[in-house]
């Protein structure tokens, strides 16, 4: 079932250690087949260098395992909630990459200090609040996804324009049109987090890039009038 998607998700997961986004098994990637309503995700706690495409787990949007010999990632309920809330995304990544997670642990959104950031994110990369004790005790992973979706609605942020988020005291979630784009956005988030940290060390009084510059760089790559790259 969904053999091609399993291969794609496996290959996307293997990129996480390649780009130094994970240590040990601290991360996961999934991709959804919107037509069937099923998604494929990494199994829980399996080492990347021993994992195979056959180890990938097929899930439905009720959080039920449809196929797979292993347990799915413990973060599966978060992926479920993001797929349900964000209809335009097709892949989700979770990492604890060190620089981006440092911002998350500090409880700070990542300001847009330059055009590298603006090429991918329209505005800051938000950091959402920590879950309450009741939310943690009730359904920790599912409520993480619910919180992200609720906060994006409250902030009037389009998840296509802002393809990632920091969860306070936790880590990073990114997404995209498929698993590979979600991984790409995870790599960008880590690099942007690193640049922003160094920027503040060099100049503690630094201010966000001008809005007109941010808009120029974002919209030259995204939207109806984009002109970056080849047609």
Q: DSSP letters along 43-81, please?
A: BTT--TTT--GGG-EEEETTS-EEE-SSPBPTTHHHHHH
Q: How far apart are CA 129 and CA 133, in angstroms?
A: 12
Helix (H) or strand (E) holding 201: helix 179-202
Q: Annotated catalytic residue: which of 119, 140, 197, 219? A: 119
Q: How far apart are CA 31 and CA 178, in angstroms?
A: 6
- The yes-or-no answer on residue 119 being catalytic is yes
State both tokens at 60: 């439905």
Q: How far apart are CA 194 and CA 10, in angstroms?
A: 27
Helix (H) or strand (E) holding 142: helix 133-154
Q: How far apart are CA 222 and CA 119, in angstroms?
A: 9
CA proximity to 112, closest of 5, 197, 214, 12: 214
- The yes-or-no answer on residue 228 being catalytic is yes
CA proximity to 161, closest of 101, 127, 118, 190: 118
Residues acting as catalytic residues: 119, 228
């Amino acid at each position: 079932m969904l053999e091609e998607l399993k291969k794609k998700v496996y290959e996307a997961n293997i990129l996480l250690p390649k780009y130094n986004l994970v240590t040990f098994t601290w991360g996961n990637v999934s991709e959804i087949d919107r037509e069937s309503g099923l998604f494929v995700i990494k199994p829980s706690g399996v080492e990347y260098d021993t994992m195979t495409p056959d180890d990938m787990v097929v899930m439905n949007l009720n959080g039920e395992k449809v196929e797979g010999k292993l347990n799915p990632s413990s973060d599966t309920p978060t992926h479920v909630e993001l797929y349900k809330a964000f209809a335009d995304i097709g892949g989700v990544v979770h990492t604890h990459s060190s620089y981006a997670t440092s911002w998350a642990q500090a409880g700070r959104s990542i300001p847009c200090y330059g055009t590298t950031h603006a090429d991918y994110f329209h505005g800051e990369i938000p950091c959402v609040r920590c879950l309450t004790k009741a939310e943690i005790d009730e359904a920790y992973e599912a409520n993480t996804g619910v919180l992200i979706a609720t906060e994006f609605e409250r902030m009037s942020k389009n998840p296509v324009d802002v393809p990632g988020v920091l969860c306070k005291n936790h880590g990073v979630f990114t997404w995209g049109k498929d698993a590979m784009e979600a991984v790409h956005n995870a790599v960008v988030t880590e690099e942007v987090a690193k640049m922003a940290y160094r920027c503040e060390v060099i100049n503690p009084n630094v201010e966000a890039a001008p809005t007109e510059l941010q808009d120029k760089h974002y919209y030259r790559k995204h939207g109806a009038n984009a002109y970056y790259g080849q047609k």
